[in-house]
Amino acid sequence: MSNMIAIIEDEKNILDMYLMKFRSSGFNVMGAEDGEEGLKLIKDFKPDLILLDLRMPKLSGQELLKKLRADEDNTPVIVLTNISQNEAHLDLRFLKVEKYIVKAYTTPSQVVEEVKSSLKRHGIYSGS
């Protein structure tokens, strides 16, 4: 069984690119285009890891993360955004973010590698 990854990203072309990249890398992956849809996806499918954009309609990535952590959901989260870490809210670090990746400086292949190493750190990577 391959690892389940949830990708929550409001820009459809970027979401589609990451969905395709993760599927071709052997992951079971689901996507959502806004924070509310993302929260429902996480509750329904219980992913092994979440890739989360910060600026999204309906519910921001940060608000989504606050709700998850308030529900004691400790699913690893990698923030995948174009907001620099200096611009991001400081309370992100208190919300147990695994890694902070700026999309503009990272290739999809590098994102896949970061996900693999994060899953390995948590002892839940099911790939080879």
Which pLDDT belongs to residue 3? 94
Which pLDDT belongs to residue 1? 64
Using the predicted structure, report yes or no on whether residue 92 has a pLDDT greater than 70: no
* Averaged confidence pLDDT in the chain: 90
Quick one: pLDDT band at residue 91, thresholds 50, 70, 90? low
- 3-state SS string for the chain: CCCEEEEECCCHHHHHHHHHHHHHCCCEEEEECCHHHHHHHHHHHCCCEEEECCCCCCCCHHHHHHHHHHCCCCCCEEEEECCCCCCCCHHHHHHCCCEEEEHHHCCHHHHHHHHHHHHHHCCCCCCC
Compute the distance between CA of residue 109 and CA of residue 103 in angstroms, rounded to an integer: 11
Nearest one of 7, 64, 55, 66 to 32, comparing CA atoms = 7
Are 50 and 76 within 8 A, CB to CB?
yes
Which pLDDT belongs to residue 85? 65
Mean pLDDT over 84-113 rounds to 80
Which pLDDT belongs to residue 57? 87
Mean pLDDT over 28-46 rounds to 95
> What pLDDT digit, counting tens, does each position of 47-81 carry?
999 999 988 889 998 899 999 988 888 899 999 98
